A and B are shown apart, each in its own frame.
Chain A
Amino acid sequence: MKLFKSGRNAYLMASPYLAWAVIFILVPLAMVVYYGFTDGNGSFTLNNVVRISDPGYFKALWRSIYLAVISTLICFLIAYPLGMILSSMKLSNNAFLVTLFILPMWMNFLLRTLTWMTLLEGKGVINTLLDIVHLPAINIINTPGAIILGMVYNFLPFMILPIYNSLSRIDENIINAARDLGADSVQTFMRITLPLSVPGIISGITMVFIPALTTFAISTMLGGSKILLIGNIIEQQFTLVYDWHLGSGLSIVLMIFILINMIVQAVYDKEGGALG
């Protein structure tokens, strides 16, 4: 390559970002680990991490996992058929349609959660509409159900995009070949379509599960600040209690989940992602 006469120029050009990444990505993470494993005097302790087993914190973590799993599952069940329908349409006229399904991904999630506060509240829009048609009111605001609804609404596009991508990349000839060889539509789906879309499914699960597991705003807004998730507990350590050590310790527990997710993702995503 002649663009760089010597490697040195390239290193010189990359150095600002390298420095930036060290200062603003690696050092901060190291600080979380440092605070998580030290006490107020700066001496080493496992206490902050172990305190995840405190009944209150453990309950919050368990509740977060539980709600995140249900939300992820619902997102998957909605998104997979959607991805199949979208990918079976002709590309020329569905580009805009696909965009419509994915656009909300980049719209402020606070506002999207706010819309559900408005819709679900006791005398809100949905109950008013139900009242007009003489149906009983629903009271799910400030319940785990409302939090799940908020999570599904917010994170659904993150499931649709990777599943659609992986489904639309499947070569139609493979499916036709299976059909020619006598597979019925269920067999074709179970043995061709589903296995080939696994990378998309894994990536979708990650993109929904991690934000759902770690959210604190959705539970504050739709759970009425009484249903605490692990995200709420950590947030409080930094904004109310000012116990950075405990907050960091609990964050390390969260990072373990993220790490597991990264590993699963790396195993399935052998192409190395868009950057690799």
Chain B
Amino acid sequence: MKKILERIYLGIILLFMYAPIVTLIVLSFNLSKSRARWGGFTLNWYIRLFSDRAVASALMNTLSIAVLATIFSTIIGTITCIAMIGLSPRLRSVITGVTNIPMINADIVTGISLMLLFRFLHIGSGFMTILLAHITFDIPFVMLSVMPRIKNMNFYVYEAALDLGATPFYAFRKTILPDLMPGVISGALMAFTMSLDDFIITYFTKGSGFETLSTLIYNEVKRGIQPEIYALSAIIFVVVLTLLLINSGASDNIIKEKK
């Protein structure tokens, strides 16, 4: 009896979480423009979406910013994590503290603080400012997933490699890097997802006339929802869901390997 009640509770919460998303995806195939009536199946909104140039350019902006921010933040984050091994405990805790700031701070404060900086420095173009902002909030996520690997690392293998005549770089590449890699990959995926997903910080740092998918959707929604937006939302949901499932699958495998 208790089991059944528990299952029902889980079911209701899952329904609450996913039914709205499913509804949205269903509506993206609805021929009728009305949200209240099913007018038959259509791919019309998807076709309209793909021929919309504003959407195409926003998509390009979103993807190029996400890819570049992921590359830069992964490199900087990983290097910093490796450096943490050799730093004094005090500097290490300073870095940890500063890195925690963007994660704890409200996005709106992070967004306006960066906006003030960019206005002060007269960095005007939307692409550059958003990219810098995204790298900034992505680095903590990379470090968060690389750091545990560093902590659990066995450095004796590295020292053994050196004793056996390997050059430091070769030893690093053969012993430490493979151990770090799962953390680096999941950090990169995390950074990519966060960058793809961000609205608030992008909104404050973009300047006028430059749109990403998130800001485009926000503008459209304020004007009234068109079915194309449902199509766009459905695509984003599916892509992000796939990315996340890959990522959680990857980390599950890591857990299994360890056991």
Give A contacts to B, CB under 8 Å: 1-4, 7, 9-14, 16-18, 20-21, 23-29, 31-32, 35, 78, 81-82, 85-86, 95, 97, 99-101, 103-104, 106-112, 114-119, 121, 123-125, 127-128, 153, 156-157, 206, 210-211, 213-217, 220-221, 225, 231, 234-235, 238-239, 244, 247-248, 251, 254-255, 258, 261-262, 265, 272-276
Asked if B181 is an interface residue, CB under 8 A from chain A, the answer is no
* Inter-chain contacts of B21 with A (CB < 8 A): 104, 107, 112, 115
Q: Can you name 10 extra interface pairs (CB under 8 A) apart from A103-B241, A118-B20, A261-B104?
A: A10-B86, A11-B83, A21-B99, A28-B114, A107-B237, A128-B36, A216-B108, A251-B109, A255-B106, A276-B93
A85 near B147: Cβ-Cβ < 8 Å: no
The listed residue (B84, B136, B229) touching A25 by CB distance below 8 A is B136
Q: Contacts A10-B87, A118-B27: A258 and B217 contacting too (C-beta < 8 A)?
A: no
A4–B102 CA distance with the chains assembled, in angstroms: 29
A115–B27 CA distance with the chains assembled, in angstroms: 10
* Inter-chain contacts of B114 with A (CB < 8 A): 24, 28
A7 near B222: Cβ-Cβ < 8 Å: no
The listed residue (A100, A110, A214, A225) touching B109 by CB distance below 8 A is A214
In chain B, what residue has the closest Cβ to A221?
B221
How many residues from B make CB contacts under 8 Å with A?
90
8 closest A-B pairs (Cβ-Cβ)?
Answer: A10-B86, A28-B113, A4-B86, A13-B83, A115-B20, A14-B83, A214-B106, A17-B80
Closest-CB distance, A15 to chain B (whole angstroms): 8
In chain B, what residue has the closest Cβ to A100?
B14
A20–B114 CA distance with the chains assembled, in angstroms: 13
A85–B199 CA distance with the chains assembled, in angstroms: 33
* Inter-chain contacts of B58 with A (CB < 8 A): none
B116 near A32: Cβ-Cβ < 8 Å: yes
B13 near A106: Cβ-Cβ < 8 Å: no
The listed residue (B23, B116, B120, B218) touching A119 by CB distance below 8 A is B23
The listed residue (B91, B102, B113, B244) touching A32 by CB distance below 8 A is B113
In chain A, what residue has the closest Cβ to B140?
A275
* Inter-chain contacts of A261 with B (CB < 8 A): 104
* Inter-chain contacts of B257 with A (CB < 8 A): none
A27–B136 CA distance with the chains assembled, in angstroms: 13
* Inter-chain contacts of A31 with B (CB < 8 A): 113, 116-117, 120
Listed by A's residue number, 8 A-B pairs whose Cβ atoms lie within 8 Å are: A2-B155, A21-B99, A24-B132, A85-B6, A118-B20, A211-B106, A258-B104, A258-B109
Q: Contacts A2-B162, A10-B86, A110-B218: A25 and B24 contacting too (C-beta < 8 A)?
A: no
A108 near B23: Cβ-Cβ < 8 Å: no
* Inter-chain contacts of A26 with B (CB < 8 A): 98
In chain A, what residue has the closest Cβ to B119?
A244
| Inter-chain residue pair count (beta carbon < 8 A) | 250
Asked if B179 is an interface residue, CB under 8 A from chain A, the answer is no
A274–B108 CA distance with the chains assembled, in angstroms: 24
Closest-CB distance, A239 to chain B (whole angstroms): 8
B240 near A248: Cβ-Cβ < 8 Å: no
Closest-CB distance, B160 to chain A (whole angstroms): 10
Closest-CB distance, B36 to chain A (whole angstroms): 4
A238–B201 CA distance with the chains assembled, in angstroms: 13
* Inter-chain contacts of B241 with A (CB < 8 A): 103, 107
The listed residue (B37, B100, B136) touching A24 by CB distance below 8 A is B136
* Inter-chain contacts of A101 with B (CB < 8 A): 13-14, 17
A101–B12 CA distance with the chains assembled, in angstroms: 12
Closest-CB distance, A245 to chain B (whole angstroms): 11
A273–B151 CA distance with the chains assembled, in angstroms: 13
Q: Mark B74-95, 1 if CB is under 8 A from A, else 0.
A: 0011011011111110010101
Closest-CB distance, A235 to chain B (whole angstroms): 7
Closest-CB distance, A156 to chain B (whole angstroms): 7
B248 near A99: Cβ-Cβ < 8 Å: yes
Q: Contacts A1-B86, A115-B20: A17 and B96 contacting too (C-beta < 8 A)?
A: no
